[in-house]
Amino acid sequence: MALPLDGIRVLDFTHVYAGPHATRHLAALGADVVKVESRARPDSTRSGDGDDLSAGSYYNEPNQGKRDATINLGTDRGREIAFDLAAETDVLVENFSPSVMERLGLGYEAVREENEEIVYVSMPGFANSGPAKSYRSWGVNLQSMAGFDTISGHPDDPPVPAAFSWPDPTAGIAATYAICLALLSRTGTGEGIYVEVPQYELTVTFMHKALMAETMDAEDPGRIGNRDEDGRYVQGVYECAGDDRWAAVAIENDAQWARLCEVMGVPELIDDDGFESQYRRFENHDAVDEIITAWTRERSPEEVRSRLQDHDVPAGIVANERDLMEYDPQLRAREYFAEHDHPTVGKHRLQGVPFEMEGEEGRWLTVAVPGQDLQIALVTPDAPHYDDATATPEMARRFAAGA
């Protein structure tokens, strides 16, 4: 069965995580994605010893399923071949700072003159317009400016940055969505389109509840720790037996509270005046937390999860990386992780994608090595591992066509 993007060619000028995350999903949907980088300036997430630039886990995860081309965009010849590839591709994706592609002669207007059907996607940190267009972006300052840190942490804490750069995968998924819509539009119009996906604006979308509270109620929710942002449900993360082991538990309604009390062996609390309703339980949240902690502290998080889930009470372990890769029964049953034998890094398990489509099994389980797929490496003659290139624009066209 053909995948949705079979036959679509994608030229990938992205680096770090947001852009590669988008093109990784395009590859999983069947697109032929060619990642462009140079030996002199490879993707900054590559790492390793000596000539092996493929050892870094940060690089391998978002660059599955792609081919790789090393092109020195600092040379006239390199820019010529890159432009020739762009003239023959369906989608071009870049996340450089504003104006970089224009300076290279690869901006949207220049490419569109040669390829009217191209879907050209820019993924800037802030946007290509507005007073912040020249700002440098990184996960921590994007999240802070978008308001994340204001609502993260406990009431008496200072602002707490997230431990992971949420803007990156968010922008990647949004760009995938926008690209698919642009391709759908092209089937009707026969014309390409320019698409801009600013990470800053996408990050602001996470603030939906706080922004609506400001708009409608003029309320500042502040920092509330693990409590429910709506102020209605009892929930928390509770200490369990073992070293730094925890479980998350939530009580959505009276029936779940009754079942929780039965499992914990305190049925007398079901109708206790302090806990008889959602309102009363939230009002006495600290007392509820103490009761639950007294029970969870004597049990493993796995037991807490299983016993409560068996009684239809939302609960789960607070998982670390090893829990997810080694022990999570759901991910194992779904075969979410699959072993891949990389030609230079060796055997490692990689993530799949969070959806299934008939016929796509294993399509994303390859990781590009610099220049191994498209031998158009335009680097200096003394650069490690590569000889001086002899590629021509005609070869570039053939490579872009998947030959």
- Listed in sequence order, the DSSP H helices in 190-267 are 199-204, 208-216, 254-264
Q: Whole-angstrom Cα distance, residue 264 to residue 313?
A: 12
Q: Whole-angstrom Cα distance, residue 145 to residue 165?
A: 13
For 131-163, what is each residue's pLDDT tens digit?
Answer: 988 888 888 888 888 888 888 888 888 888 877
pTM of the model: 0.82
Query: Mind listing the domains of the chain with CATH numbers?
Result: 9-205+337-400 (3.40.50.10540), 246-317 (3.30.1540.10)
What is the per-residue pLDDT for 393?
43
Q: Whole-angstrom Cα distance, residue 192 to residue 42?
A: 29
Instruction: Specify the DSSP class assigned to residue 159.
Output: P
What is the per-residue pLDDT for 376?
37
- Both tokens of residue 364? 């994303």
Per the listing, tokens 């001086």 go with 388
> Active site includes 168?
yes
Q: Whole-angstrom Cα distance, residue 385 to residue 35?
A: 19
List strand residue ranges (DSSP E) for 77-188, in order.
91-94, 119-122
Residue partners of 337: CB distance under 8 A and separation at least 6 = 325, 331, 349, 350, 351, 352
For 23-79, what is each residue's pLDDT tens digit?
Answer: 998 988 889 999 998 777 777 777 654 556 666 677 777 888 888 888 888 889 889
Instruction: Specify the DSSP class assigned to residue 376.
Output: -
Task: Give the CB-side neighbour count of residue 392, counting CA atoms within 13 A.
Answer: 2
Nearest to 136 by CA among 179, 175, 176, 97: 97
The phi, psi pair for 235, rounded to 5°, reads -160, 160
- Nearest-10 Cα torsion for 218, 220, 224, 228: 20
Q: Is 239 exposed, middle or buried (0-12, 13-18, 19+ CB in 10 A)?
A: middle
- Both tokens of residue 51? 């000539």
- Both tokens of residue 107? 């901006």
Report the SS3 class of residue 316. strand
Binned average pLDDT, 10 residues per bin, the chain of 403 residues: 86 92 89 85 68 67 82 88 93 92 94 96 90 85 84 85 82 94 94 94 85 76 81 92 96 96 96 93 95 97 97 96 90 82 74 70 50 39 31 42 41
Q: Is 90 exposed, middle or buried (0-12, 13-18, 19+ CB in 10 A)?
A: buried
Q: Whole-angstrom Cα distance, residue 291 to residue 297?
A: 10
**Which of these is catalytic: 68, 168, 254, 312?**
168
Per the listing, tokens 């700072």 go with 97
Nearest to 23 by CA among 108, 109, 89, 115: 89
Enumerate the β-bridge partners of residue 340. Answer: 348
Nearest to 206 by CA among 148, 140, 157, 270: 148
Residue 393 to residues 71, 85, 336, 384, Cα–Cα distance (Å): 12, 8, 40, 24
What is the per-residue pLDDT for 242?
94
